Amino acid sequence: MDRNSIISKTSQMLQLVKRQVHSVENLAVIIILAAMALLPMAEVIAREVFRSSIPGAIVTVRHLTLWIGFVGAMLAAREGRLLSFTGETPWLRDRWGEWTGVVAGIVSVGITIVLMVASYRLMNTERMFPRPILGPIQVWTTQLVMPIGFGVVAWRLLMRSSSQWAYRLLVIVGIAVLGYLGLGLELQGGWAIYAGFAGLILAVVFGAPIFVVLGGAAVLLFWNEWGVMAAIPAETYRIVVHPMLPTLPLFTLAGYFFAEGGASRRLVRVFRAWFGWIPGGTPLVAVLVCAFFTSFTGGSGVTILALGGLLFPMLIKDLYSKKFSTGILTASGSIGLLFPPSLPVILYGVRAQAPIDRLFLAGILPGLFLVAIVAGWGVRQGIIGKTQRTPFQWKEAREALWSGKWEVLTPVIVLAGLFGGVATLVETAAITAVYAFVIQVFVYRDLKLTKDVIPTMVSCATLIGGVLIILGVAMGLTSYLVDAQIPSRALHWVQAHIHSKIVFLLALNGALLVVGALMDIFSAIIVVVPLIAPMGEAFGIDPVHLGIIFLVNLELGYLTPPVGMNLFLSSYRFNRSLPRVYLSVIPYLIILAIGVLIITYVPSITLTIPALFGK
């Protein structure tokens, strides 16, 4: 057998192994998500029908969240979808070649290996002092996924650093050199820590994932203070198994079933039949449909990607300009962020220890207000441009509503679960996910079990993994900040320099706008909330009002140049250059900024509905 034949057969064998590994990962995702959805639902049935409970159901779901987070992160690394500030920067690679990947790879792979080793040490400590979870299952057995997950992510980051093994070997050599300098020579403090952060910044520019940046910052700070690295994965474990966190993957799964099925088409028909006769009716329809989807996807970008292909041609057909259409869809991609069951609201409640049901009640009027002002701008454009309208017809309105009745009922199910007292928030999320699955697969039959459902669940897990791995390592960074008393120092500084509540709120808006422009909302909640919560308390701001202020500013951050997430997604989805997208969102930035200031300085908008419900 000649050399070429050996290489060919080896390559085929490796490809076969790779496909089998991918199949195992996909199967694991399906099993985990299915169990997470069915166990809480079964718990509700057992409690309400049989007056009993399923032993260990809820604690199992919490630890399955840990597993879906890390298996999902493995999938995100596999697909090149780990969230980053700049993407994989192909324009830099075109200019500077493979060296950009080498630099990003050294930092990304090196930090991920450190996190893998720290996770293993945490797991090993738990194994020496075992704590039972359910029957024979111990805490350390659930934590096993953490070093495995970080290890697989590190390998895949290495493979994506370059297409050539010569450059990959340079990445390995670079990691070995840094490891020797950091551990062998014990270089710490001074120029070493500054060099480390400079390397992180350079890696960000070259496309390193966000979790690497936050995790790398935590690693450098703990290392510089001779801290225990296992504190980082310990905090990761603590936040990911939080009792409320399973709602994130479950509501996201429901959103994916809606997005991948025919829900968008039916909802557009419903809203167009009922509101299309209004001047500017098509933009109004676009805003309402986007708000519905964003409430389930949490502003993750799914809204723009899922609905853009449907709504953009509709706006163009009704004689709206490309600039206007791009702007209103980009702005609407995060417009439902305050409505149940929004993931950022849930996460904020978890992180700030604020009542989630009160946060949702508080977000209703501000959310409607922001929807109204964006939609109002669209109506204005329709009146000025004398664009086409859809005549109102009772027959079409009734038929459209009947056709989309199951999707239209979804918010009712969510609200009944949240405030009806029958189910907990996690159980409501599970019921919603199962409901979305049933109506899309068995009622409307838009999704086929094997052909569509499996890829949908894999895509959902990929997004979840990309988010949860950020949350986990960001908690490690937050742990250091708390240990270093950064929040209390920041509070003392603010109290020493700002004495007016009005000035504080204005400064808070400005700071949060910058945070929203530079950081995704999930990691911002983990890192920033512990800093601002004591400041809000010191100035007598209601914690729930502070939460809404935080969220609306971060919602605005999705649109704020240079790196607002919706700007990149719109550029990709509508094939428009980033400068053109920037120009298209300027009116909405101004409108929403005014709206944010009104919500900030008129707290009754936020607190009226919670007061009516006695919350």
| CB-CB contact of 443 with 435 (8 Å) | no
What one-letter code names the amino acid at 312? F
Please tell me whether residues 254 and 372 are part of one structural domain. Answer: yes
453: DSSP letter: I
Instruction: Tell me which of 215, 240, 265 is where a domain ends.
Output: 240
pLDDT, tens only, 471-526: 888 888 888 887 777 777 887 888 888 888 899 999 999 888 888 777 777 778 87
pTM of the model: 0.84
| Structural domain contains residue 375 | yes
Kindly tell me if the per-residue pLDDT of 162 is higher than 60.
yes
Please give, one letter per residue, the 3-state secondary structure of 563-603.
Answer: CCHHHHHHHHHHCCCHHHHHHHHHHHHHHHHHHHHHHHHCC
Please tell me whether residues 234 and 312 are part of one structural domain. Answer: no
Please tell me whether residues 97 and 190 are part of one structural domain. Answer: yes
| Structural domain contains residue 471 | no
pLDDT, tens only, 104-132: 889 999 999 999 999 999 999 988 888 88
Kindly tell me if the per-residue pLDDT of 94 is higher than 60.
no
| Structural domain contains residue 7 | no
Q: Using only C-alpha atoms, what is the Rg of the chain? A: 25
Kindly tell me if the per-residue pLDDT of 184 is higher than 60.
no
Alpha-carbon distance of 488 to 492, in angstroms, equals 6
| CB-CB contact of 325 with 312 (8 Å) | yes
Question: Which of the four pLDDT bands, split at 50, 70 and 90, describes residue 1?
Answer: low
Please tell me whether residues 229 and 253 are part of one structural domain. Answer: no
Instruction: Tell me which of 213, 240, 267 is where a domain ends.
Output: 240
Q: How far from 313 is each of 291, 386, 531, CA to CA, in Å?
A: 19, 18, 44
Please tell me whether residues 195 and 288 are part of one structural domain. Answer: no
How deeply is 500 buried, as exposed, middle or buried, from its count of CB atoms within 10 A (0-12, 13-18, 19+)? exposed
| Structural domain contains residue 8 | no
| CB-CB contact of 351 with 587 (8 Å) | no
Q: Is 518 helix (H, G, I), strand (E, B) or coil?
A: helix
Structure tokens at 526: 């983990």
Alpha-carbon distance of 283 to 379, in angstroms, equals 7
Alpha-carbon distance of 77 to 473, in angstroms, equals 16
Structure tokens at 322: 């490309």
Contacts of 610 (CB under 8 A, 6+ apart): 358, 361, 362, 544
Please tell me whether residues 212 and 265 are part of one structural domain. Answer: no
| Structural domain contains residue 1 | no
Alpha-carbon distance of 457 to 254, in angstroms, equals 10
In percent, the amount of the chain with pLDDT more than 90 equals: 28
Please tell me whether residues 235 and 252 are part of one structural domain. Answer: no
Please tell me whether residues 116 and 190 are part of one structural domain. Answer: yes
Instruction: Tell me which of 188, 209, 240 is where a domain ends.
Output: 240
Please tell me whether residues 575 and 540 are part of one structural domain. Answer: yes
Q: What is the four-CA torsion angle of 208, 69, 455, 407, rounded to 10 degrees? A: -110
| Structural domain contains residue 517 | yes
Alpha-carbon distance of 566 to 554, in angstroms, equals 12
Please tell me whether residues 334 and 390 are part of one structural domain. Answer: yes
Alpha-carbon distance of 397 to 38, in angstroms, equals 35
pLDDT, tens only, 370-396: 999 999 998 888 888 777 777 888 999
More confident residue, 258 or 190: 258
Q: What mean pLDDT, rounded, does the chain reach?
A: 85
Could you tell me the residue range of the domain that residue 225 belongs to?
17-240
Structure tokens at 22: 């991918």
| Structural domain contains residue 235 | yes
Please tell me whether residues 152 and 289 are part of one structural domain. Answer: no
| Structural domain contains residue 203 | yes
Please tell me whether residues 165 and 24 are part of one structural domain. Answer: yes
Task: Give the number of domains in the chain.
Answer: 2
